[in-house]
Amino acid sequence: MTGTKTNERPGTRAQVKNVRMSATKARAVLDLIRGLAIDEAASVLAYTERGAAEVVGKCLDSAIANAEHNDQIDPATLFVSACYADEGRTMYRWRPRARGRATKIRKRTCHITIIVSPMPADMFAIEQAKREAVPGTRAARRRGQEASTRAARVAASQQSDDVAESAEDAGIVDTDAVATEAVEGVDETTEVSAPPADDSVAEVAEDQGIVDTDAAATEALDETDVTDDAAESADDDSTEEK
């Protein structure tokens, strides 16, 4: 006995045909969001570093819009009930090889389908509890909830950067001037702390008012003259005695 056919599955669907990638690559991304609530699925796709994530995200947005506008279903109650990728037509190109031969280049395509449905009562209760949980708790970190908190942190950081740039453009805060003043302050401190290389220690002391080198030199010369006069007088006395 066969199960429900693919085109008979209940729910609101959206389909993207002839996507220029293989079905295997699309299925790797679809496996990440199958069975998740739409907000968690969107968070997972936002931080999935695969080329198929962008196409799958657009298809998911289309399915949510179809459920909201065509079937009048609240998007907060939806989850990804089914998603699959079928193989499309394959385009063939040819690559020349040795000895006049050629090999095929297969450019594969696929058809991506996403079906969203209202969550069961028990699943909806669990999702509501997780949404009301405080970010950072164990309940909030389950099943990709940390991706939404990361998105909030990234948005807050970008907003703070924009506010700083706007303040600088308005002339409230000039970051370049602040940086220049900080550098000049460091240079002045360095100049005061380090003595000049070309000046002697005596000149530095004289400039600071500690020692007057001219007065010290004059006193030293006067003392030398007095000593010389005393020596000459002693020589004259010795000569007269003789």
Residue 91: both structure tokens together: 């385009």
The residue extents of the domains of the chain are 7-132, 145-194, 201-241
Tokens 């045909």 belong to 17
Distance CA 135, CA 148 (A): 9
For residue 155, the model assigns a pLDDT of: 80
How deeply is 206 buried, as exposed, middle or buried, from its count of CB atoms within 10 A (0-12, 13-18, 19+)?
Answer: middle
pLDDT at 235: 61
Instruction: From 69, 73, 70, 40, select the one nearest 57 (Cα to Cα).
Output: 40
Question: What pLDDT sits at residue 226?
Answer: 53
For the purposes of burial, counting CB atoms within 10 Å of the CB of 38, is it exposed (0-12), middle (13-18) or buried (19 or more)?
buried
- For position 1, what pLDDT does the model report? 45
The pLDDT value recorded for residue 107 is 96
pLDDT the model gives residue 147: 56
Topology of domain 7-132, CATH = Ribosomal Protein L22; Chain A (3.90.470)
Vertex 181: Cα angle to 178 and 182 (nearest 5): 85
43 and 147 Cβ atoms separated by less than 8 Å: yes
* pLDDT for the residue 200: 53
CA 184 from centroid of its chain's CA atoms: 30
Coil vs helix vs strand at 5: coil
pLDDT tens-place values along the chain, 242 residues long: 466 777 777 889 999 999 999 999 999 999 999 999 999 999 999 999 999 999 999 999 999 999 999 999 999 899 999 999 999 999 999 999 999 999 999 999 999 999 999 998 888 888 888 777 755 555 455 545 555 566 777 788 888 888 777 777 776 655 555 555 655 655 555 454 444 444 554 565 555 555 555 555 556 556 666 556 656 666 665 555 54
Beta-sheet pairing, 12-19 with 102-107? unpaired
Q: For residue 68, what are its two tokens? A: 């909201």
